[in-house]
């Protein structure tokens, strides 16, 4: 690996002549820089949008004929930055106005900060509050040089580049962070929201992932009660064989009403056993999907029925949308009786009668939480496992997939894009981009606004959704994103993987060219007289 070498007189945002191979020299005079904070669930979305060669050429941000460079933190979960030449024939649209006509493409340096989640894509943007971004001026190491189809991978150790975010991204609309503020910011207000230009980008599908051993146990239990076809093999990840939890059960878990998995009974008789107790009695080998055999008793944590949840911290849009969908949190006065449990794993021990809540700072850490609790180790960066092998449930968008966990159905409906588009699956939200408008004391303008609008334009295109979804692979159906109907019309309300558009929206069309903006508390309805599937 090659180390980045800096000269003493080099500016903080510029690499020196000593930089080698895949580590480029960055010239501030010819580089547009944009700082984006917010939703960690959409980090992969931003990364793929900017770097993927699968995105239609007219929608690409980066020039496909030039090398793309990805700088990242060591854990590859909290911070990254993309450096490339602008695709001047595509969405970015214009050359750097500071350069003479006919010169080479402007360079782009786009930072993305995940820490603090969606809340940090709202309040710090509105209030022009500095946040710590990745520092790519020193301590960077080339991991791989990349090529025209693969970004070069450069790891940077320092995260002390304090900058005001130019644009934010949140999993739900900004007003939902009133009372759900991010760790690094104060609470959002209506005054803050008024300073922002807010644009819906995509409908993001979320779901309830459970650890792999819990998934298989739920399958076996629901086969025993005839809630799954007898033909389903234990471990089958296809849509027909996915186990299911009800909305009320998920709400009960997130509100802290259950402390262990034995609260879920297998069967409806007076003597029905709890899920964990039932599993320990299932010692007959069953066929495992893909070969081999296992008993359900082997999948149950020994003498440990305790319920663990891998969720997000306050300020997360992923957490906010889940609280809204399942608990109505922040939407009605009556919802206060089901306020999500905000205790953390430091507040209680197993056996105290309270679910163990792991409130994670990013989607990457929720992923790590589920993996470590499934595998019974502390091998994944960002999560400390003091409990060993446990059954756990989480909250993630469909961007994430791993062999250590799998999504379950909700109310018998799988978290597929087709089910969202047909109005059957409820756990989704429209994410939004926002930047400071002219009512702010520091509005986004010039090159930065041009680049921000180009990213928003590309982000919302159905072809971009289709290309990105191909990278989010699940056996029950690829993808996490649908274009929104306020930007693109669906065809007869049907789902088309090549042009995925949701006919439903949390925004409301009020006239030929007017609409009430997205509000996650609003029940989604067909957009402006569009069609829906029977």
Which CATH number do you get for residue 248?
Answer: 3.40.190.10
Domain boundary, last residue among 391, 421, 451: 421
pTM (two decimals): 0.82
From first to last of its 534 residues, the chain has per-residue pLDDT tens of 443 433 333 333 333 333 344 688 888 888 889 999 998 767 777 887 788 776 777 777 888 888 999 999 887 678 999 999 888 765 555 444 444 444 455 889 999 998 878 888 998 999 999 999 999 876 899 999 988 888 999 999 888 899 999 999 998 898 888 765 544 456 778 888 999 999 888 999 999 999 999 999 999 999 999 999 989 999 999 999 999 999 999 999 988 889 999 999 999 888 999 999 999 999 888 776 666 678 999 999 988 999 999 998 877 888 889 999 998 887 876 665 566 776 677 777 898 888 899 988 888 889 999 999 999 998 777 788 999 999 999 999 999 999 999 999 999 999 999 999 999 999 999 999 999 999 988 999 988 888 888 888 778 888 888 988 998 999 999 989 999 998 888 888 889 999 999 999 998 888 777 777 788 889 999 988 788 888
pLDDT digits (tens, 9 = 90+) for 213-271: 999 999 999 999 999 998 999 999 999 999 999 999 999 998 888 999 999 999 988 89
Helix (H, G, I), strand (E, B) or coil at 72: strand
Q: Are residues 7 and 59 in the same domain?
A: yes
As a 3-state breakdown, the chain gives helix, strand, coil percent values, each rounded to 5, of 25, 25, 55
Q: How many angstroms separate the CA atoms of 72 and 159, rounded? A: 10
Q: Are residues 271 and 343 in the same domain?
A: yes
Q: How many angstroms separate the CA atoms of 175 and 197, rounded? A: 13
Is 163 among the domain residues?
yes
Residue 150, beta-bridge partner list: 147
Helix (H, G, I), strand (E, B) or coil at 173: coil
Q: How many angstroms separate the CA atoms of 316 and 268, rounded? A: 37
Shortest CA distance to 127 belongs to which of 178, 164, 177? Answer: 164
Q: Which domain holds residue 162?
A: 2-195+437-459
Cα–Cα distance list, 31 to 9, 61, 190, 400, 447 (Å): 19, 14, 35, 32, 10
Residue 70, beta-bridge partner list: 82, 153
Q: What is the pLDDT of residue 100?
A: 40
Q: How many angstroms separate the CA atoms of 99 and 24, rounded? A: 20
Q: Are residues 20 and 138 in the same domain?
A: yes
Residues whose CB falls within 8 Å of the CB of residue 299, separated by 6 or more in sequence, listed in order: 213, 214, 216, 217, 279
Shortest CA distance to 390 belongs to which of 405, 409, 410? Answer: 405
The alpha carbon of residue 327 and the mean position of all alpha carbons in its chain are separated, in whole angstroms, by 20
Q: Are residues 140 and 213 in the same domain?
A: no
Are the CB atoms for 518 and 432 separated by under 8 Å?
A: yes
Q: Are residues 298 and 384 in the same domain?
A: yes
Q: Are residues 224 and 126 in the same domain?
A: no
Q: Are residues 408 and 276 in the same domain?
A: yes
Structure tokens that stand for 280 in this block: 């320990």
Are the CB atoms for 20 and 142 separated by under 8 Å?
A: yes
Q: How many angstroms separate the CA atoms of 492 and 176, rounded? A: 31
Neighbours of 149 (CB within 10 A): 11
Neighbours of 234 (CB within 10 A): 21
Q: What is the pLDDT of residue 418?
A: 96
Q: What is the pLDDT of residue 504?
A: 94
Q: Pairing mode, if any, of strands 515-516 and 508-509?
A: antiparallel
* Secondary structure (DSSP) of 481-509: EEB-TTTS--STT---TTS-B-SEESSEE
HEC assignment per residue over 152-171 = EEEEECCCCEEECCCEEEEC
Q: Are residues 147 and 255 in the same domain?
A: no
Please count the structural domains in the chain.
2
Q: How many angstroms separate the CA atoms of 218 and 279, rounded? A: 9
Q: What is the pLDDT of residue 343?
A: 67
pLDDT digits (tens, 9 = 90+) for 406-446: 999 999 999 999 999 999 999 999 999 999 999 988 999 98
Q: What is the pLDDT of residue 465?
A: 87
Q: Are residues 110 and 223 in the same domain?
A: no
Q: Are residues 37 and 167 in the same domain?
A: yes
Q: What is the pLDDT of residue 13?
A: 36
Is 512 among the domain residues?
no
Is 27 among the domain residues?
yes
Is 480 among the domain residues?
no
Q: What is the pLDDT of residue 105?
A: 59
Q: What is the pLDDT of residue 95?
A: 45
Q: How many angstroms separate the CA atoms of 500 and 483, rounded? A: 6
């Amino acid at each position: 690996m090659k180390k980045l070498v800096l000269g003493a007189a080099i500016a903080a945002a510029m690499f020196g002549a000593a930089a080698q191979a895949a580590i480029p020299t960055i010239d501030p005079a010819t580089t547009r820089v944009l700082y984006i904070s917010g939703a960690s669930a959409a980090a992969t979305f931003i990364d793929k949008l900017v770097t993927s060669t699968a995105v239609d050429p007219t929608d690409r941000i980066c020039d496909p004929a030039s090398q793309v460079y990805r700088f990242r933190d060591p854990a590859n979960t909290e911070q990254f930055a993309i450096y490339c030449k602008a695709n001047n024939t595509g969405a970015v649209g214009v050359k750097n106005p500071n350069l003479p006509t006919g010169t080479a493409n402007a360079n782009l340096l786009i930072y993305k900060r995940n820490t603090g989640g969606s809340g940090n894509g709202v309040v710090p943007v509105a209030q022009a509050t500095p946040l710590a971004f990745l520092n790519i001026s020193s301590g960077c190491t080339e991991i791989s040089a990349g090529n025209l189809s693969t970004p070069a991978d450069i790891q940077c150790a320092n995260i002390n580049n304090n900058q005001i975010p130019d644009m934010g991204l949140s999993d739900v609309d900004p007003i939902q962070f009133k009372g759900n503020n991010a760790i690094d910011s104060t609470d959002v207000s209506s005054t803050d929201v008024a300073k922002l230009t807010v644009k819906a980008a995509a409908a993001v599908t979320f779901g309830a992932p459970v650890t792999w051993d819990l998934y298989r146990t739920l399958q076996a239990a629901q086969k025993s009660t005839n809630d799954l076809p007898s033909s389903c093999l234990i471990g089958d990840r296809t849509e027909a064989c996915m186990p299911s939890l009800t909305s009320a059960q998920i709400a009960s878990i997130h509100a802290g009403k259950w402390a262990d998995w034995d609260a879920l009974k297998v069967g409806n008789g007076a003597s029905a056993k709890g899920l964990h107790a039932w599993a320990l009695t299932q010692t007959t080998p069953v066929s495992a999907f893909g070969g081999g055999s296992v008993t359900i008793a082997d999948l149950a944590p020994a003498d440990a029925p305790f319920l663990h949840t891998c969720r997000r911290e306050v300020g997360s849009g992923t957490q906010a949308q889940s609280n809204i969908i399942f608990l109505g949190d922040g939407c009605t006065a009556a919802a206060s009786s089901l306020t999500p449990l905000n205790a953390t794993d430091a507040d209680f021990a197993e056996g105290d009668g309270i679910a163990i809540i792991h409130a994670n700072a990013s989607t990457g850490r929720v992923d790590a939480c589920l993996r470590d609790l499934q595998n019974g180790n502390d091998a994944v960066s960002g999560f400390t496992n003091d409990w060993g092998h446990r059954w756990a449930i989480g909250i993630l968008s469909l961007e994430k997939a791993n062999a250590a966990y799998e999504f379950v159905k909700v109310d018998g409906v799988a978290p597929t894009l087709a089910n969202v588009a047909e109005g059957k699956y409820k756990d989704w939200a429209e994410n939004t981009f926002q930047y400071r408008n002219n009512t702010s004391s520091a509005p986004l303008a010039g090159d930065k606004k041009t680049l921000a609008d180009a990213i928003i334009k590309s982000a919302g295109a159905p072809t971009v959704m289709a290309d990105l979804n191909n990278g989010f692979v699940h056996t029950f159906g690829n993808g996490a994103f649908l274009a929104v109907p306020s930007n693109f019309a669906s065809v007869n309300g049907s789902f088309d993987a090549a042009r995925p558009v949701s006919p439903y929206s949390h925004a409301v069309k009020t006239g030929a060219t007017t609409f009430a903006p997205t509000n996650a508390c609003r029940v989604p309805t067909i957009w402006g007289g569009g069609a829906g599937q029977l």
